[in-house]
């Protein structure tokens, strides 16, 4: 009988495409429906060895079209979202078994043998193997770092049978090899929404224990199988702002790298129009290479959330002001105002602009939650280094602010561990020219975030005057794609900011900074903020294509404006005499079958319809939404 089953699996493998599932099906990509607040768990694939079981109910399969037997080929686990890890840990002689059970999330017991009893559960013959933990790249969601090949178990799961629910049983008889600087990444567990988890877990660190601790947040499990239903690829639902907005007069510029977005900058150069009294910057992509020699014998700081006060030895002029003392922060920014004391690892757009708090001028080389102390055991001289080089002679001093071998805050912190995240970048200030360079040598591949605060920024690059004259915050330029939409010129600060694209979703509401994610069953409403006063006609564009970089066309787009959709975009909604804030009324309902489709949106003001020289007189930045699995 066993021979016939294996032959059937081999035959199926040769004829059927391998499909995928993610359990639970309502995990909503990360630890929260708002795309923030990630957290893994160390109780499953742990640092001591142990025993765990995971149950997921049949509805996770049938919801994805799996309505008959599916031959499992891989069971996969991923590390905590947004956290990198070197991997390399090895579990020896791991015992793996999978099966079908009539037990449910409500009736799974705290006794391992009871859950495996033949009266309720049919399990495969256990297989024993060594398991090597692969590196985690820190993406959102993170890549799978533990892959269990279970095809040889000859197990076909039928979610429509009399024992429809999946039970996974794993025994780790010993601790993994975990020689320093290795440290085991927490495994991503679940916080689902909607109808709940529809699953349960049970774990113990004592291998011989008959009982375990129940968990209503079992780990995220990726499945590969041969059979009906599922997905060719489990594309996550994610958003990204791109392009560049126009319509106002901002002196600030920034790019917000949203949760899970790739970091794609290699360098930026900010050139003032007048070195002695700058009015604005010309911002160019690229810079001189990172200079690893511009570090001190010991770092100025290795502390978390710390400021370093550094007298420049010269006067540095920037648009709207000047300074002789800077205050770099270990979290990747530089205060140009020595009176500032805030060293926060996170902020909001209001903090960047100084609209609610008296935060003034700053350079954001890479404002993110960083901690140099993560690497003190593995990377000598890691930390924040600040020095002024005067070898060029009078009037030619150069200040180097260097984040050297610093790390993301969100990495494992076992004693002696390190090297899981190694980051090198610089901010360079030139006395003679007033030029600023952001130089990037070794950066995180993806920008993750862990905070539970809604509306916070995840990673920022740019410049701001902040609150101006102690009276009013800077106006908002909206996030700009600094890897593509350069060169550009900032403005002399005016009274209005640029138009911003907005999207609101139900039933799963998106973080107000991130925007609403799209998956089957979501409804989206599009809108805009900072629409110029006096606008007669505003229009919401939707498209399945984009222009990256944006199209700047004479008589079509006003100077400094661009079309970020294609020229064949759908005119989704038209607003007559809109106010400064537009809330759409035409809903977009996401049907099934669109997993993997990219949708692009942009709000434009059609001033050219009423005598203006250009058809599009103002425009928002664009938003890319990938329709994915929730």
Helix (H) or strand (E) holding 12: helix 2-15
Mean pLDDT, residues 423-449 taken together: 96
What's the burial of 618, exposed, middle or buried (CB within 10 Å: 0-12/13-18/19+)? buried
pLDDT band, very low/low/confident/very high, at 178 (cuts 50, 70, 90): confident
Which fold would CATH assign to domain 236-245+499-630? Immunoglobulin-like (2.60.40)
Tokens of residue 22, six digits: 């993610």
Full-prediction pTM beyond 0.85?
A: yes
Tokens of residue 36, six digits: 């923030």
Residue keyed to tokens 């024993």? 128
Share of the chain above pLDDT 70, in %: 94
State residue 235's pLDDT score: 87
434: left (phi over 0), alpha (psi -120 to 50) or beta: left
Sign of the dihedral through C-alpha 373, 376, 378, 383: positive
Mean pLDDT, residues 524-545 taken together: 96
Dump pLDDT digits (tens) for 42-87: 999 999 999 999 999 999 999 999 999 999 999 999 999 889 999 9
Dump pLDDT digits (tens) for 81-125: 889 999 999 999 999 999 999 999 999 999 999 999 999 999 999
Task: Determine the longest span between alpha carbons in the chain, in angstroms.
Answer: 88
- pLDDT tops 90 at residue 36: no
Question: E strands within 139-291?
Answer: 144-149, 156-157, 165-172, 187-188, 199-204, 213-215, 221-226, 238-242, 253-256, 261-262, 267-272, 281-285
Q: For residue 127, what are the β-bridge partners?
A: 96
Tokens of residue 237, six digits: 């639902």
Dump pLDDT digits (tens) for 310-320: 999 999 999 99
Cβ pair 238, 257 in contact under 8 A:
no
Task: Cite the residue boundaries of each domain of the chain with CATH code 2.60.40.
Answer: 236-245+499-630
State residue 6's pLDDT score: 39
- pLDDT tops 50 at residue 14: no
Mean pLDDT, residues 423-448 taken together: 97
- How far apart are the C-alpha atoms of 224 and 233, rounded to whole Å? 10
Dump pLDDT digits (tens) for 327-346: 999 999 999 999 999 999 98
- How far apart are the C-alpha atoms of 272 and 269, rounded to whole Å? 10
How far CA 214 is from CA of 44, 99, 186, 494, in Å, comes to 12, 19, 18, 59
15: left (phi over 0), alpha (psi -120 to 50) or beta: alpha
Dump pLDDT digits (tens) for 266-282: 999 999 999 999 999 99
A 10 A CB-CB count for 407 gives 26
For every residue of 43-71, DSSP letters joined together read SSS-SS-EEEEEEE-THHHHTTT--S-EE
A 10 A CB-CB count for 16 gives 14
- For the ranges 37-41, 100-104, 163-167, 334-338, which has the lowest average pLDDT? 37-41
Sign of the dihedral through C-alpha 454, 519, 138, 80: positive
């Amino acid at each position: 009988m066993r021979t016939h089953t294996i032959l059937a699996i081999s035959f199926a493998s040769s004829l059927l495409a391998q499909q995928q599932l993610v359990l639970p099906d309502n995990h909503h990509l990360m630890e929260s429906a708002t795309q923030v607040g990630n957290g893994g768990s160390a109780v499953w694939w742990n640092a001591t060895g142990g025993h765990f079981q995971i149950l997921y109910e049949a509805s996770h399969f049938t919801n994805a079209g799996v309505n008959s037997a599916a031959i499992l080929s891989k069971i996969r686990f991923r590390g905590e979202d947004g956290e990198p890890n070197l991997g390399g840990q090895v579990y020896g002689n791991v015992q793996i078994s999978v099966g079908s059970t009539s037990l449910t999330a409500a009736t799974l017991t705290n006794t391992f043998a009871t859950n495996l009893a033949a009266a309720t559960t049919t399990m495969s013959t256990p297989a024993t193997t060594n398991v090597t933990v692969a590196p985690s790249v820190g993406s959102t969601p993170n890549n799978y770092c533990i892959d269990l090949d279970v095809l040889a178990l000859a197990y076909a799961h039928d979610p429509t049978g009399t024992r429809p629910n999946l039970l996974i049983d794993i025994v780790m008889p010993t601790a993994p090899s975990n020689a320093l600087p290795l440290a085991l990444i927490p495994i991503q567990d679940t916080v689902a929404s909607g109808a709940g988890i529809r699953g349960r877990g049970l774990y113990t660190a004592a291998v011989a224990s008959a009982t375990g601790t129940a968990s209503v947040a079992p780990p995220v499990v990726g499945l590969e199988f041969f059979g009906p239903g599922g997905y060719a690829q489990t594309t996550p639902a994610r958003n990204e702002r791109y392009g560049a907005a126009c319509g106002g007069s901002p002196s600030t510029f920034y790019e917000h790298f949203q949760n899970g977005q790739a970091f794609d900058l290699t360098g930026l150069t900010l050139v003032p129009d007048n070195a002695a009294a700058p009015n604005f910057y010309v911002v160019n992509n690229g810079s001189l290479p990172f200079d690893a020699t511009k570090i001190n014998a010991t770092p100025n700081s290795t502390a978390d959330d710390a400021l370093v006060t550094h007298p420049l030895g010269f006067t540095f002029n920037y648009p709207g002001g000047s300074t002789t003392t800077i205050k770099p922060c270990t979290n990747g920014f530089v205060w140009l105002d020595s009176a500032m004391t805030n060293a926060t690892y996170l902020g909001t757009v209001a903090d960047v602009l100084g609209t609610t708090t008296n935060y003034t001028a700053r350079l954001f080389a890479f404002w993110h939650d960083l901690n140099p102390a993560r690497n003190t055991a593995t990377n000598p001289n890691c930390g924040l280094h600040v020095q002024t080089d005067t070898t060029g002679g009078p009037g030619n001093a150069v200040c180097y602010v260097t984040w050297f071998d610093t790390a993301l805050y969100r990495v494992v912190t076992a004693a002696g561990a390190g090297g899981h995240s190694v980051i090198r970048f610089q901010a360079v200030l030139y006395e003679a020219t007033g030029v600023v360079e952001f130089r990037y040598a070794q950066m995180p591949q993806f920008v993750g975030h862990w905070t539970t605060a809604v509306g916070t920024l995840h990673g920022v690059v740019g410049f701001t005057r902040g609150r101006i004259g102690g009276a009013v915050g800077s106006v908002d330029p909206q996030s700009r794609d600094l890897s593509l939409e350069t060169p550009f010129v900032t403005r002399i600060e005016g009274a209005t900011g640029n138009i911003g694209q907005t999207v609101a979703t139900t039933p799963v509401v998106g973080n107000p900074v991130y925007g609403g994610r799209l998956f089957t069953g979501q409804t989206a409403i599009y809108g805009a903020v900072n629409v110029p006063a006096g606008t007669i006609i505003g229009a919401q564009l939707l498209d399945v294509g984009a222009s990256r970089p944006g199209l700047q066309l004479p008589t079509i787009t006003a100077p400094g404006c661009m079309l970020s959709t294609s020229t064949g975009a759908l005119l989704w909604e038209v607003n007559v005499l809109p106010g400064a804030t537009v809330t759409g009324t035409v809903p977009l309902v996401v049907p099934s079958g669109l997993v993997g489709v990219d949708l692009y949106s942009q709000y434009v003001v059609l001033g050219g319809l009423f005598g203006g020289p250009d058809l599009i007189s103002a425009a928002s930045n664009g938003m890319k939404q990938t329709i994915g699995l929730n």
